[in-house]
Amino acid sequence: MRLTLRLAIGFAVVVVSALIVGVAAKPRGVASPTSAVRVSPVSSNVKMESRGIDSRPLSEQAVSSDNEQGPSNETPEEAPIRDVGSPEKAAQEKPRTESDLIEYLRLGNVPYSRIEEDLGQESLPILYRILTDRQYLRDWPRAATAIAYLGENQRSYRAILDYIRRYDSWEGLPGKEGAFLCLAKTGAIWLLSLVGGQEGERILQTMLRDPAYVEDLLADWIKYPNFAETIGPHNHFIMEARGAAARGLVLTRKETSIELVREAHVAALENSRKADEQLSKIPAPTDEDIGAATYEDQLYNRMVNALAIDRYIKSHSVASYLDSANSEHLQRELRQLRYQIRGEDGNI
């Protein structure tokens, strides 16, 4: 498998840098001054080199500056709320008003294990409002994560599902903000495993199995006119959504769901190999040919990442994973686990 193309990597690097502005543990509220996101054309003689592609979801790649490809400028999915930054901040009173909660969300990341203590169930009505108020667009990923971290709740499930599905206009947003808006939605899909119970698990299972279902679920925005020209190719967002679904299924700790991820991993590996073999037989592959192979290779990488998370959780716990997701130690362990899985696949 080979993969160096700008259709995937260029798209990821250009698009996800926008995520850092809104989701990573940096000051919020400063718009990226860069130009609108477009996928760069890919030269037909570009070789594909899958070994160098980061197997983590786009939404997870920027949490560490020490990944397999060197320093990364990417971040993500879900920007879970972790790591406050100082005991003084953690010791503050629970946020009581909308402005208090916004200030809290912008402080940095807060450990999953302390979310109830820091916020409590009483914050949910305000978080629901924040998740629908466009003036807080940059804060939506963290608001969604805070809602999910506060536990299974049917209203919370509906609020996050609505956020993922609804069309939020990217018209007039500066630079890469439109791409941030859409990638943050796919990045929040795994949160359904924390709030949706059996219904959320069923949706994640169907998303993993069926890319057409993903497109239908996200139709309000992924099928919006000029989406591909303005934001990016549909199949990359579908791939990210399926990767997030795999991650969510692993976090359910249900063996039937984890087995689905294993099966998807085997299928993705086979499809990736077939796509690469077919590409190698084309004398002058088109951008479409390369893009198809890229999709299969990156989907495989997402499945590898989900299984690496599964192995980590088996040795530790779900809480440990959620609490540590920004730590260099965790990212180091996950890189080793991904390498181990690729080795078992004969794909190093």
332 vs 312: CA distance, rounded Å:
11
Predicted pLDDT at 107: 84
Rounded percentage of the chain residues whose pLDDT exceeds 90: 59
Residue 290 is which amino acid?
I
pLDDT (tens digit per residue) in 113-123 = 889 999 999 99
Q: Any idea what the Cα angle at residue 118 is, between residues 114 and 120, rounded to 5°?
A: 100
Instruction: For 254-296, write each residue's pLDDT tens digit.
Output: 999 999 999 999 999 999 999 999 999 999 899 888 888 888 9
pLDDT at 19: 34
pLDDT tens profile 45-59: 333 333 233 333 434
Q: Dump the DSSP string for 234-267.
A: HHHHHHHHHHHHHHHHHHHT-HHHHHHHHHHHHH
**Residue 134: pLDDT above 50?**
yes
* Pick from 210, 266, 211: nearest CA to 233: 211
Taking the domains of the chain in order of start, what are their residue ranges? 2-344
Q: Regarding predicted confidence, which is higher, 84 or 343?
A: 343
Q: What percent of the chain has pLDDT over 70?
A: 73
Closest of 115, 117, 112, 142 to residue 130, by C-alpha = 142
Residue 61 near residue 13 (C-beta atoms within 8 A): no
Would you say 41 and 47 are in contact if contact means Cβ atoms under 8 Å apart? no
Contacts of 48 (CB under 8 A, 6+ apart): 1, 2, 3, 4, 5, 276, 279, 290, 293, 294, 297
pLDDT digits (tens, 9 = 90+) for 181-225: 999 999 999 999 999 999 999 999 999 999 999 999 999 999 999
Instruction: In whole angstroms, give the CA distance from residue 309 to residue 35.
Output: 35
Task: Dump pLDDT digits (tens) for 150-179.
Answer: 999 999 999 999 999 999 999 889 888 999
227 pLDDT more than 80: yes
Are 245 and 266 in contact by the 8 Å Cβ rule? The answer is: no
What is the mean predicted confidence (pLDDT) over 312-340?
A: 93
342: its two tokens: 């690729």
Question: pLDDT value at position 81?
Answer: 41
177: CB partners within 8 A, 6+ apart:
18, 21, 22, 31, 32, 137, 170
How far out from the chain centre does Cα 24 lie? 13
**CA-CA distance, 331 to 319, in Å (whole number)?**
15
What does the alpha-carbon distance between residue 185 and residue 162 come to, in Å, rounded to a whole number? Answer: 10
Judge contact between 287 and 44, C-beta under 8 A. yes
